[in-house]
Structure 1
Amino acid sequence: MQNSSSVTVFTLDGLNETASHKYIFFGFTLLAYLLICLFNLTLIITVIIEKTLHEPMYIFLCNLCVNGLYGTAGLHPKLLADFLSDSHVISYAGCLIQTHVIYNSLMCEFTILTLMAYDRYVAICKPLQYHSIMTSLTISKFLLLCWILPSCESTIAIFLTIRLPLCGSQIDKLYCDNWSIVKMSCVDTTINNIYGYILILIHVSQALFIVYSYIHIVRACVKSSEEMTKFMQTCLPHLISLIGFTISTVFDVMYSRYGSRNIPQDLHNFLAVEFLVIPPLLNPLIYGLKLSQIHRRIMRVFSRKVDILK
């Protein structure tokens, strides 16, 4: 049996069955990461340089893309290195850092999506009060909330995990996560479990708020075709992002806690990483194609680059 003083590295067992095709997996993972960086950076730069997009909805969208880059940076570089290595290990400190980044990104994403839902609720249900409610000061407070609160949540989870003595060093995933470390504890983990349920309650409450806001948005939109068009243009991308991210996160949480060990390793790996791959890849595409203002500005930016090259 190992105790906490002897556990200096963890072994990531998620890649054990991919050795024979590691270069193929490396190629697809690298391509996905490069596309995530390209799509999100394009949208971020477009929002920053186009002053007409300096509005609450686009500012929140820009932060959503920044968070997507932040979360994937916690997974892809280490994963790419592991594909090319025969030993898939990570230090104890590195594991905690990776856990913090991934959990922080996950909770930050949910918070940003909640703020975007509130923004759409005010814009559609209270249009005359929109600019008095969504002031620069309010937006600044919201942005501080969406970055500081998740960081505090994940930091507390890390400190609760550090205190646990461990009786193992095998993690059956592609990356470190808090639950995988807690499961190796030699002592009672009731405090960690209670805190986990508190976090779930907080973010389920956010989900309920989003549902509540969209009930009012839909009621307001069905009254006029103009409002329905506005809903399809600005709210539909948000709903698609929310549904995709929620499904991905629920799959990961439920599988980590209750998943069967009998399913194929490749499916296990997909369920473990989809919330760090699919939403960051699709979000900028969905918004870039659906929001006409974003789409026009992106095309304008690229046309400027072409003109400069000429």
Structure 2
Amino acid sequence: MTNSSQVLHFTLTAYFDIGSLKYLYFMMVMCFYVLIIGSNVLLIVVICVNRSLHEPMFLFLCSLFVNELFGSLGLFPFLLVQILSDVHSVSAPLCFLQIFCVYSYAAVEVLNLAVMSYDRYVAICFPLQYHSTMTDRKVALLIALTWALPVLATVVLVSLSAPLRLCGNVIDKVFCGNFSIVKLSCSNTSVNNVYGLVLTVVSIVAPLVLILYTYGKILEILQSRFELSRVPPLLAIVLSLYFLTCQPLFNPALYGLKMAAIRDACKRLLCGENSAPAAASHA
């Protein structure tokens, strides 16, 4: 048995030889990565430089866009190197660093969506109490917890996996995953498995439950306002599924295009237009 500290590298076997096509794939992935960086940086700058966008929802969006940059940084450069490389391996320290980046990114993403859904729940269901509820201090605390909790939880996850004694160094993936490392272990991994299960429930399941609950409450208000009870049952089911599942997933990608405040701010920043800033409430 060897200790994981003695494993200098891991071999990734999910890659296969594609010949000269690797240059085409490299360019495609590179263009996609540049698009991710450009769009997220643009939206972050727009929100930061426009005081009219310093509202809770836009600040949560800014946090989400920063996390997109963080997550893509932990994956795309690595993929670009592996696409061009003939030997698909990764050093042990870089492998654990990638696990930290990918897992903390995923946890921050889901928790950020949960916080955003809570913000919309308060704004729609309790509009008169919104500003007294979503104070600057509370918004700052929510953003801090959105990042601190996943980062600390992922540090513990990696700390439990790094000292494991390993029987091999072959990972059947295109990037490093914590469970792939645990499966290579020759020692008892009960603690790792239990912690992994608890982490999944706390960081993924619990935020999703909050998202479903808040959007469910919003849906109830929509039913009372638009009398959705008269809508055919099948259509009502489709609408409910959309508000409960698609909205939390699609909104972050669409906010930059659909929100008038961000749209106008982008025009002023890129084109030098002098139009008055749109209020966040007009989004």
Q: Which category of TM-score, normalised to the shorter sequence, fits these structures?
A: 0.7 to 0.9
The counterpart of 1:302, out of the listed 270, 274, 283, is: 270
1:98-177 alignment to 2 at 5 Å?
98-177=98-177
Tell me how far 1:145 sits from its aligned partner.
0.2
| CA deviation profile, 1:68-120 (whole Å, cap 9, x unmatched) | 00001001112111222211221111111111011010000011000000000
| Alignment partner, residue 277 of structure 2 | none
| Alignment partner, residue 233 of structure 1 | none
| CA deviation profile, 1:203-232 (whole Å, cap 9, x unmatched) | 21111111111111111233336xxxxxxx
1:289 aligns with 2:257: yes
- Bigger CA drift: 178-187 or 17-26? 17-26
Judge conservation of contact 1:56–1:139 (CA < 8 Å) in 2: yes
| Alignment partner, residue 224 of structure 2 | 223
User: Per the alignment, in what secondary structure is the counterpart of residue 10 of structure 1?
Assistant: strand
Amino acid at match of 2:125: C
| Alignment partner, residue 206 of structure 2 | 205
Tell me how far 1:5 sits from its aligned partner.
4.8
Partners of 2:268 and 2:112 in 1: how far apart?
A: 27
> What TM-score comes out, normalization by structure 2 length?
0.85
Judge conservation of contact 2:5–2:162 (CA < 8 Å) in 1: no
The counterpart of 2:248, out of the listed 226, 242, 246, is: 242
> What TM-score comes out, normalization by structure 1 length?
0.78
Report the structure number with the largest CA radius of gyration. 2
CA distance 1:11–1:71, shift in 2 (3 Å)? same
- Bigger CA drift: 113-122 or 215-224? 215-224
Count of aligned pairs: 257
Aligned-CA RMSD value = 2.0
Amino acid at match of 1:215: G
Judge conservation of contact 2:216–2:244 (CA < 8 Å) in 1: no
Partners of 1:6 and 1:186 in 2: how far apart?
A: 14
Partners of 2:5 and 2:197 in 1: how far apart?
A: 28
Gaps of at least 5 residues in structure 1 are 226-235, 245-281, 306-310
Amino acid at match of 1:23: Y
User: Per the alignment, in what secondary structure is the counterpart of residue 11 of structure 1?
Assistant: strand
Amino acid at match of 2:74: G
User: Per the alignment, in what secondary structure is the counterpart of residue 176 of structure 1?
Assistant: coil
User: Per the alignment, in what secondary structure is the counterpart of residue 122 of structure 1?
Assistant: helix
Gaps of at least 5 residues in structure 2 are 227-241, 274-283
Judge conservation of contact 1:113–1:238 (CA < 8 Å) in 2: no
Amino acid at match of 2:49: I
- Percent identity (aligned): 39
Amino acid at match of 1:210: I
Tell me how far 1:19 sits from its aligned partner.
4.3
